[in-house]
Structure 1
């Protein structure tokens, strides 16, 4: 009779089995799955979103894996972010999802609850998927309901990107980590005044869920509490009123200037179009933003307590629950997140390496100044991060859309802050429980 894994003998058996499996992986280049004459090759499908550079780097990394383990080959599919989850959901419903795919926290909980994701908990316990070199919050963020159902492929953090050259011309100080929102908005108003109204001091991020979430965490609240929003109508009214005041004082520009940047499109950010001195974005977008302006850019954390931020996965690698090769899938994911060669190839394109040892190697190899600045910012923030919240619940993507709609209704004065807040709370909670 098999020994229960919870007994001492069972745990010893598990450790022995893990060691034997690891030995097979190293010596033969295959997994615990039997490779018969009829099955002398394992082929895995891999799917992600991103551009041509991401595709080239991902292929190159996985080609290294195939060189080490010649019986494993890959088929690659990638596309833009738009429509990615529609395609993935359709394929999963038909039972033919890719063996390995990219996912983010917008859908992590939903896909786990739909039993689409491979449960990798036992692999972690057996050290076949090693998360010990991850920041604790980043490893924790891979869990839903106590199960490890993904592994962070990279880390990212929100960043307030600012125009250093503009501030030097205006003889104004740069924003700093830990500025309170009142301090930040006073500073932004100085920028507007000193520039003669040509450049507003700040973008209006009232529709940015990241900014709202960290503002809430500074007040010991969360964006979510179970399958409900974790804040009140009064809280959101205060948030909308704060940015309404910034627009009226001139610290932030008018709605027609703000709206193009609300989507998060890097090419439309006001810090590079010259309409504002700052933009609320992701820190790893600094290199791309820098290419859009001759002015020198810098990065600090969003206003508020740095402890309100956390080590967030830019993307996760996950496996399909219905894959025919679960051991190989986990071994490949472990390679992508922990191997130094793979990490060096992938670089910072998706964000900072999740494995801290790999991150150090990659950081030392960077030559692009803006990439080095992004990496240094991540290191600077690492010791100041707070605990990670649980991954967002199903319906998170809808909630983000509803927040932006509510913010724009206030920006264009189609609704008062309280009217917009009340409508959002009702609609968001309905979306989270549907």
Structure 2
């Protein structure tokens, strides 16, 4: 059975009981930089600053978890602050530049190397931090997600994998077969043709601006988005072939008109009824479900090789500690609590993505969208591969570059060859900085 939003599978029921702003402002922290982090007192009490991004719903849950942590650790006071995503990174860059990063901070894997390279982050696998942080219970592939050159600079609190969100009713109405495990990219492109150029609802949009689709296809062909040395892991010819996929769909009138996509923003094409499928990380199902009354499902990704989907578990977000914290043991205790404590897992649920550790994953009560995501991940578990290395500094900028170049291409402002030249020129410059 394919995972559905409005009903959970038996496997899912068994779970019951439960990239941002740039970092140009960051400088290497010298010995004279101001001390960051929390404070201590003569009576042995410690204050930790903990910063994260999110909304009011997450803030309420996070405060409940913090209250529980403070009950269990009466000598530690936690001062939480949160912001929206972009504001969070702007503030963190400023604080880090002055040596005043919070003791514990939420982290995105796309920016982990940038902060670690600037000596902002604490190695959680050594010293007092290692003695107070258990990393033995992560779900497959996530244990090493924050490792760089043998050091651990972040641990995931949630993990998700890639998927195709689609509208089964729209597929059936168009006469298109439902996606199945092992289906090919050729079969996926045939779906666009089945819907046809005159369809009010297209099979999908041009997906080539999504960097994770590019990475998926590269991994399926034995290549990679980035090499371990921090360079582009694919050729100009491979990139040209990738862009030509979207170009053909647009020229044949099979993909959603890019101008219509602009007009319905911030609603997605799927949520606005312009198309019947979109690639995304599975935890984004909650977004699409909130945009439409249609019943949606999670489908396996297409592949060039049925034995290789290229999929892996990606941290939905991570936790790191400041290299300048005055309280590495207490900071590690807070991180350990947020990823391992069963009661904390029950409080936070799937708000930060499906829990990264087995204990919290098994403890969380999953319903609706979350149950559908859990069922999907269970259905593709055997196909998951080791995650790629932590992306190089500049990965977030390259993601934005791909989106900009493919948008210009979709509106006919540049050709495919010009898009290839522009992308490689700017990407190589970004990675060389």
- With normalisation by structure 1, the TM-score equals 0.85
Secondary structure of 2:275's partner?
Answer: coil
Secondary structure of 1:241's partner?
Answer: helix
1:236 to 2:235 alignment: no
Distance 1:167 1:126 in 2: 51
1:344 to 343, 346, 351: 346
For residues 172-216 of structure 1, the C-alpha deviation after alignment (integer angstroms, 9 at most, x for no partner) is 3222233221110101321346xx510110121111111111111
Match of 1:16 in 2: none
1:357 to 339, 356, 359: 359
Q: Which runs of 5+ in 2 are unaligned?
A: 1-38
Alignment of 1:267-282 (within 5 A): 267-282=266-281
Match of 1:154 in 2: 158
2:251 to 238, 241, 248: 248
Match of 2:60 in 1: 56
Q: 1:406: how far off?
A: 1.3
Give the direction of change, closer, same or farther, for the CA distance of 1:147–1:256 in structure 2 (3 Å limit). same
The aligned length equals 391
Match of 1:332 in 2: 334
**Higher normalized contact order (CA 8 Å, seq sep 6+, divided by chain length):** 2
Distance 2:128 2:419 in 1: 44
Match of 2:120 in 1: 116
Match of 2:144 in 1: 140
For residues 143-177 of structure 1, the C-alpha deviation after alignment (integer angstroms, 9 at most, x for no partner) is 01110111101102222111123234445322223
Match of 1:177 in 2: 181
Q: 1:72: how far off?
A: 1.1
Secondary structure of 2:312's partner?
Answer: coil
CA contact (8 A) 1:343 1:358 kept: yes
For residues 338-375 of structure 1, the C-alpha deviation after alignment (integer angstroms, 9 at most, x for no partner) is 1111111111111110002321221xx223x2221011
Q: 1:298: how far off?
A: 0.6
- With normalisation by structure 2, the TM-score equals 0.86
Distance 1:103 1:255 in 2: 32
Alignment of 1:296-307 (within 5 A): 296-304=295-303, 307=309
Distance 1:354 1:260 in 2: 37
Alignment of 1:285-304 (within 5 A): 285-304=284-303
Give the direction of change, closer, same or farther, for the CA distance of 1:76–1:171 in structure 2 (3 Å limit). same
Distance 1:178 1:86 in 2: 42
Structure number with greater Rg is 1
Q: 1:124: how far off?
A: 9.8
CA contact (8 A) 1:209 1:403 kept: yes
Q: 1:40: how far off?
A: 3.1
1:221 to 2:196 alignment: no
Q: 1:401: how far off?
A: 1.2
1:82 to 2:81 alignment: no
Give the direction of change, closer, same or farther, for the CA distance of 1:199–1:145 in structure 2 (3 Å limit). same
For residues 25-60 of structure 1, the C-alpha deviation after alignment (integer angstroms, 9 at most, x for no partner) is xxxxxxxxxx99713321111111111111111111
Q: Which runs of 5+ in 1 are unaligned?
A: 1-34
Distance 2:378 2:140 in 1: 15
CA contact (8 A) 1:57 1:346 kept: yes
Secondary structure of 2:48's partner?
Answer: strand
Distance 1:216 1:328 in 2: 41
Give the direction of change, closer, same or farther, for the CA distance of 1:171–1:37 in structure 2 (3 Å limit). closer
Secondary structure of 2:86's partner?
Answer: coil
CA contact (8 A) 1:192 1:199 kept: no
Q: Which has the higher helix share?
A: 1
Alignment of 1:2-41 (within 5 A): 38-41=42-45
